[in-house]
Structure 1
């Protein structure tokens, strides 16, 4: 069952999808219509996303990941957003550390 999008996840998506290009704009417009559909089994904060496709159109054709960046804090972490059929589908955090990241870093630490 889908759950409301947490504020830290929404902030991360907004920080990743900056810019005025058509893809970023369309994906940002999906954020208010996005819910969390699942999470990663390793203990990290990666989330599966589902968008109400009746409420908002898909983004134009684009590459996957749709956006990616590194964090300045923690220095060993990065984040990517993936889509499926033009809709947000996965927000993945990763680390070069052996420990999973168990809380979303503040979006102000995202460096594109």
Structure 2
């Protein structure tokens, strides 16, 4: 993934964009042209993207806003504290959201990457 992306963003994109899925492959081609425009201020790691759409083709996700990839997060003890969602807008990467379902477990993109690696 793109070196200039923050590590937590690049790692989670790598984990949720399956190389066997044609839509995900098309989205992976957009990553080298992707930058983070803004981050959520709560500390969760949610990232809003900027993408030069003149340099890449849109992925076949359909029109409008679409959840193009998602993954439930499972801890080492089997708890599900949240999920990550990757949104596209008209086939272009738009934002990566980390959602917390727990008041007891801190859910961030870095934690999400760890859980995705231990429980793919």
Q: Same fold (TM over 0.5)?
A: yes
RMSD (Å), alpha carbons:
2.3
Q: Point out the structure with max Rg over C-alpha.
A: 2
| In structure 2, C-alpha distance between the alignment counterparts of 1:44 and 1:106, rounded to whole Å | 10
* CA displacement 1:49-100 (0-9 Å, x = unmatched): 1112122111013482101111223741210000011111110001112376
Structure richer in helix, relative to its length: 2
- Relative to the length of structure 1, the TM-score reads 0.81
Q: Extract unaligned runs of 5+ from structure 2.
A: none
Q: Which runs of 5+ in 1 are unaligned?
A: none
Partner residue in 2 for 1:88: 93
Counterpart of 1:101 in structure 2 is: 107
How many residues matched? 109
CA distance in 2, matches of 1:78, 1:90: 14
